[in-house]
């Protein structure tokens, strides 16, 4: 099967988009399934650390961050939808960078995106291990053992090679995290306020670094733009429905995040755990929450694993097909990524600190740099860029929000992670950093 090559100047780039007549591995998703897939990828477990972030800055700033960064996420995602509408062959950030900026831009983008996916996998394995420890709270099983069990459980469904193939799981995943948050909310209300120091105002002890740490956590909670173009590529009618799916998923995210943040901070105050389920009483409800969260996080791992495994496969062997050889090679790649995730998840087992670092260092450029750059570089958007409101929004996103979240936010996250490392919990049976 022939693949189209895209010229980047003096030489042709490697094939990265299949021709329409080539056999596809999927039939296409409707916008509702696509929205659920987006939510499953974006929600992750970032929602479970937002109450802890609110405790650092107070309820007022926390709500302001949720709304403002939710709108910023919607804006940047719709920029991608606008570019994709003009270039329906584009199926990834790398392809978009190649088309609009050439080979060097493609390579730089590939490095950033693949690095992001590479480090987000250990994060989700970390969260899955802790979800199992929450579910089976009465055991003394070590964190490393839970992580190893999660590797075994995730290994089987990781062999699915398309987003369309796991889109049904994505819908169930969103439902499971919604159930978990509902149960958490009920349990927090039943238990009553444990602390009365929750406040709308900024705590006196809160520092500038705490504010940026909270911003980083919020950024990470909304970060998921890196694979929106892959999802669009597997939609049945992306030109018509891509923007609709984005809007629906962003609205759902804001509702979930606001509920989880408000309940956790109101009922647990400044001492709310970095991993919200840890604040539940040891009972059957905690077990249910842990199981629901495990399913959700495992599916989120799968959604993030699929594009990275596909990129790695194509880098070495070219296009995917349905042969047994491809299945064996895919198995090797997924197992290698699971092994990598296991090592890193045990080396950096601090949920809230790792979440903040991922949000600032990797999430910020993916959310605020690439979509803006693609939109500005696209000659077919030139007329829209000239409009004053659009120019102001682009300048605010790329010129103000990006430097603050990427630069100052990364410094704050590194400071927090270095403090966590001082506890000496790497590769420990009971890791630190979850109890706030």
Q: Residue 20: what pLDDT?
A: 43
Q: Is residue 428 part of a domain?
A: no
Helix, strand or coil for residue 431?
A: coil
Q: Residue 72 is part of which domain span? A: 26-420
- Please, which residues bridge with residue 18 across strands? 3
Helix, strand or coil for residue 4?
A: strand
Q: Is residue 321 part of a domain?
A: yes
Q: Which of 41, 401, 21, 23 is nearest to 219 (CA)?
A: 401
Q: Is residue 15 part of a domain?
A: no
- Dump pLDDT digits (tens) for 371-421: 999 999 999 998 888 888 888 999 988 888 888 888 777 777 777 666 666
**How many CA atoms lie within 13 Å of 418's alpha carbon, on the beta-carbon side?**
6
Which has more pLDDT, 270 or 150?
Answer: 150
Per-residue pLDDT, averaged over 25-33, amounts to 71
Helix, strand or coil for residue 235?
A: strand
Q: Which of 64, 372, 41 is nearest to 220 (CA)?
A: 41
| Two tokens, residue 135 | 């579910």
| Two tokens, residue 94 | 């790398």
Q: Is residue 225 part of a domain?
A: yes
Q: Residue 19: what pLDDT?
A: 40
Q: Is residue 10 part of a domain?
A: no
Provide the domain count of the chain: 1
Q: Is residue 425 part of a domain?
A: no
Q: Are 321 and 330 in contact (CB under 8 A)?
A: no
Q: Which of 119, 101, 108 is nearest to 308 (CA)?
A: 119
Q: Is residue 270 part of a domain?
A: yes
**How many CA atoms lie within 13 Å of 45's alpha carbon, on the beta-carbon side?**
34
Q: Residue 377: what pLDDT?
A: 93
Per-residue pLDDT, averaged over 280-305, amounts to 92
| Cα–Cα dist 17/233, whole Å | 10
- Dump pLDDT digits (tens) for 330-380: 999 999 999 999 988 887 766 666 766 777 777 788 888 999 999 999 999
Within 10 angstroms of residue 422's Cβ, the number of other Cβ atoms is: 9
Maximum separation of any 2 CA atoms in the chain, in Å: 68
Within 10 angstroms of residue 185's Cβ, the number of other Cβ atoms is: 16
Q: Are 293 and 45 in contact (CB under 8 A)?
A: yes
Non-local CB neighbours of 390 within 8 Å, separated by 6+ positions = 384
Give residue 21's Cα distance to chain centre: 32
DSSP string covering 93-118, please?
HHHHHHHHH-HHHHHHHHHHHHHHHH
Mean pLDDT of the chain: 82
Q: Are 33 and 171 in contact (CB under 8 A)?
A: yes
Per-residue pLDDT, averaged over 272-288, amounts to 89
| Cα–Cα dist 237/243, whole Å | 11
Among 119-123, 210-214, 344-348, 409-413, the least confident range:
409-413
Which residue has 């103000």 as its token pair? 400
| Cα–Cα dist 430/436, whole Å | 14
| CATH assignment of the domain containing 238 | 1.20.1740.10
Q: Is residue 89 part of a domain?
A: yes
Radius of gyration of the chain (CA): 21
For residue 11, pLDDT over 50 is answered with no
The model's confidence at residue 7, banded by pLDDT at 50, 70 and 90, is very low
């Amino acid at each position: 099967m022939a693949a189209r090559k895209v010229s980047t100047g003096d030489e042709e780039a490697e094939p990265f988009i299949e021709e329409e007549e080539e056999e596809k591995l999927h039939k296409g998703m409707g916008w509702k399934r696509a929205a659920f897939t987006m939510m499953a990828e974006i929600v992750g477990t970032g929602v479970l650390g937002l109450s802890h972030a609110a405790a650092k800055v107070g309820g007022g700033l926390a709500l302001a961050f949720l709304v403002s960064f939710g709108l910023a996420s919607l804006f940047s995602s719709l920029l991608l939808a606008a570019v994709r509408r003009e270039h329906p062959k584009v199926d990834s950030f790398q392809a978009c960078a190649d088309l609009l900026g050439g080979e060097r831009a493609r390579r730089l983008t590939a490095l950033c995106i693949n690095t992001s996916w590479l480090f987000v996998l250990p994060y989700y394995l970390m969260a899955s291990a802790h979800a199992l420890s929450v579910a089976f709270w009465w055991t003394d099983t070590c964190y490393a053992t839970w992580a190893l069990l999660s590797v075994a459980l995730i290994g089987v469904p990781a062999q699915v090679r398309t987003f369309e193939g796991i889109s049904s799981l994505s819908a169930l995943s969103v439902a499971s995290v919604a159930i978990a948050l509902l149960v958490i909310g009920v349990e927090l209300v039943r238990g009553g306020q444990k602390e009365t120091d929750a406040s709308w105002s900024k705590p006196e002890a809160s520092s500038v670094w705490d504010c940026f740490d909270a911003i980083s956590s919020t950024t990470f909670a909304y970060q998921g733009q890196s694979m929106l173009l892959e999802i669009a590529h597997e939609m049945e009618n992306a030109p018509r429905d891509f923007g609709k799916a984005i809007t629906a998923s962003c609205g759902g995210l804001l509702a979930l995040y606001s509920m989880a943040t408000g309940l956790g901070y109101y009922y647990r105050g400044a001492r709310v755990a970095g991993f919200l389920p840890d604040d539940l009483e040891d009972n059957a409800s905690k077990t249910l929450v842990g199981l629901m969260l495990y399913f959700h996080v495992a599916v989120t791992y799968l959604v993030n694993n699929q594009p990275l495994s596909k990129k790695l496969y194509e880098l070495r062997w070219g296009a995917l097909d349905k042969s047994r050889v491809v299945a064996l090679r895919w198995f090797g790649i997924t197992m290698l990524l699971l092994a990598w995730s296991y090592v890193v998840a045990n080396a950096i087992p601090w949920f809230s600190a790792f979440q903040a670092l991922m949000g600032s260092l990797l999430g910020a450029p993916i959310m605020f740099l690439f979509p803006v750059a693609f939109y500005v570089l696209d000659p077919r958007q030139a007329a829209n860029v000239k409009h004053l409101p659009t120019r102001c929004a682009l300048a605010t996103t790329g010129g103000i929000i990006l430097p603050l979240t990427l630069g100052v936010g990364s410094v704050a996250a590194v400071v927090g992670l270095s403090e966590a490392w001082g506890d000496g919990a790497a590769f420990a049976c009971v890791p630190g950093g979850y109890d706030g």
